[in-house]
């Protein structure tokens, strides 16, 4: 590693004496009864929304289009403020946007007149002004290499494919060394093969950096493949989060085998049941509701990986 990259692995609680369990670490991010609306709308987009994300977790928020996923990301990033409730970051009230919370948007948001390296270097110098010009460039180079874009380092966005542009956007966000990485459906505009490739790259990069991640998506399989825990979002207006669904599949996860794994089937069934439930609310019969509840167990299971699953 050529750049002075800080250790990004989450802190661990020290073991308690006499065999007692170690004390739980406070969450990195906490939302308490958050509500957010917009002018001209009679009802808020998000209502009574609570969320707790521990350090080092890869969390996925899954919801239908228009449910308020991007609004949620904007709130956490500090781009907008809640109307009611509070948001805490590392135990303190959430402040304005800062390098400790980096966002990767759907539309790349790269500066077209700069090369891939220059786009990333600009973010490094903004987040770490103490770096010399040479150190900032070396730091950016490391993250360009991390997303496997070394061959295109001197190309401008117009010379890159959609998947390559998103890699640059990801490298730019990671180069800021945030404590929290926010992904706003970053792969939704890509073709299926490119999307699958970048999903695997996201899993690999997260495994190396252990940065806390919150990704919003409407792709259930993407959420199960990548996340430690899935947080389903109800349909808006007044969208809120349902029961968290832990994903206990061991890593690395092999997509070609996942469909045959009982744990994958369980998690996917719970998410689908939740989303179908809110979609058909008010129109399904009591008999169908009982049937769905019987097949969907929302009680979180053990988080201890079982190597026999794969």
Residue spans per domain, the chain: 27-100+178-309, 109-177
The tens-digit pLDDT sequence of the chain (310 residues) is 444 444 434 444 444 444 444 445 679 999 999 999 998 888 999 999 999 999 999 999 998 888 889 999 999 999 999 999 999 999 999 999 999 999 998 888 899 999 999 999 999 999 999 999 999 999 999 999 999 999 999 999 999 999 999 999 999 999 999 999 999 998 888 888 889 999 999 999 999 999 999 999 989 999 999 999 999 999 878 999 999 999 999 998 988 888 889 999 999 999 999 888 765 554 443 444 444 444 333 333 333 444 444 4
Can you tell me the distance from the alpha carbon of 224 to that of 228, in angstroms, rounded to the nearest whole number? 8
Q: Which helix (H) or strand (E) covers residue 245, if one does?
A: strand 245-246
Task: Output the pLDDT for position 278.
Answer: 63
One DSSP character per residue, 296-309 reads ---S----S--GGG
Can you tell me the distance from the alpha carbon of 84 to that of 36, in angstroms, rounded to the nearest whole number? 7
Can you tell me the distance from the alpha carbon of 239 to that of 219, in angstroms, rounded to the nearest whole number? 18
Can you tell me the distance from the alpha carbon of 24 to that of 37, in angstroms, rounded to the nearest whole number? 34
Task: Output the pLDDT for position 291.
Answer: 46
What's this model's pTM, rounded to 2 decimal places? 0.81
CATH number (3.40.50.300, 1.10.3470.10, 3.10.180.10, 3.40.190.10) of 27-100+178-309 reads: 3.40.50.300
Task: Output the pLDDT for position 280.
Answer: 54
Task: Output the pLDDT for position 25.
Answer: 64
Residue 48: how many other CB atoms lie within 10 Å? 15
Q: Which helix (H) or strand (E) covers residue 231, if one does?
A: strand 229-232
């Amino acid at each position: 590693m050529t750049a002075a990259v800080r250790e990004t692995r989450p802190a661990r609680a020290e073991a308690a004496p006499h065999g007692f369990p170690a004390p739980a670490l406070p969450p990195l991010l906490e939302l308490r009864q958050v509500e957010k609306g917009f002018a001209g709308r009679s009802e808020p987009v998000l209502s009574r929304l609570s969320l707790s994300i521990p350090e080092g977790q890869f969390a996925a928020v899954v919801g239908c289009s228009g449910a308020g996923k991007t609004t949620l990301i904007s709130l956490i990033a500090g781009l907008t403020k809640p109307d009611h409730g509070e948001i805490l970051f590392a135990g303190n009230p959430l402040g304005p946007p800062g390098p400790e919370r980096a966002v990767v948007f759907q539309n790349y948001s790269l500066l077209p007149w700069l090369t891939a390296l220059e786009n990333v270097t600009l973010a490094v110098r903004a987040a770490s002004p103490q770096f010399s010009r040479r150190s900032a460039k070396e730091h950016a180079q490391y993250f360009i290499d991390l997303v496997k874009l070394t061959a295109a380092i001197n190309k401008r966005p117009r010379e890159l494919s959609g998947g390559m542009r998103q890699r640059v956007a990801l490298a730019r966000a990671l180069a800021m060394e945030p404590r929290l990485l926010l992904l706003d459906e970053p792969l939704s505009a890509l073709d299926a093969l490119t999307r699958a490739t970048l999903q695997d790259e996201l899993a690999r990069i997260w495994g190396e950096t252990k940065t806390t991640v919150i990704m919003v998506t409407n792709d259930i399989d993407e959420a199960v493949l990548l996340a430690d825990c899935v947080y389903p979002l109800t349909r808006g207006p007044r969208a809120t989060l349902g029961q968290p669904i832990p994903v206990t599949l061991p890593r690395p996860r092999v997509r070609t085998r996942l469909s045959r794994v009982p744990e994958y089937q369980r998690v996917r069934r719970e998410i689908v049941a939740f989303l179908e439930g809110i979609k058909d609310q008010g129109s399904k019969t009591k008999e169908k509701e009982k049937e769905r509840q019987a097949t969907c167990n929302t009680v979180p299971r053990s988080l201890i990986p079982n190597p026999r699953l794969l």
